[in-house]
Amino acid sequence: MNRLSELKALAELAEQLEENGHFVEANVVHNKFMKLSQFDEELKYNVPFIAALQQKAPNFTTLLRQAPAMYDVPTFAVDASPATIALVQELLGLPADGKVGDMTLSKMAKMGASLDSALTAGFRRKFNIQPKKK
């Protein structure tokens, strides 16, 4: 397992433990994650960003994958590429510099369950994607 995969797995495990009320165990896993991520400051931010997108914004990530084939919209990857980061930042009303930082992660965390609907609605507005008429 490469380091990025290991960090992603640790981030997901820590979040699951915390969601299930296992705070001590989550803290231990988080500390291991932090120790491993200190090698690369970018990974420290990018792994939680990707994990939040995949776990807390499943409709948005599906839309990112499917929209280019269905509508006339640019292609964005579900990753920590500068284009995707800048898009998420713009949709959240943050400065869109394309770099994940504390402000981006904090805003995503504060939004919690509403992150998915906010990003999805913002993407649809930005690219004028209308629901299909029945």
What does the domain layout of the chain look like in residue ranges? 1-39, 41-129
Residue 7 and residue 113: Cα distance in Å, rounded?
23
- For residues 113-123, average pLDDT: 96
Which residues contact residue 133 at a Cβ distance below 8 angstroms, ignoring those fewer than 6 apart?
none
Residue type, 95: P
Q: What is the pTM of this model?
A: 0.70
Residue 54 and residue 48: Cα distance in Å, rounded?
10
Contact (CB, 8 A) for 123 and 57: no
- For residues 76-91, average pLDDT: 93
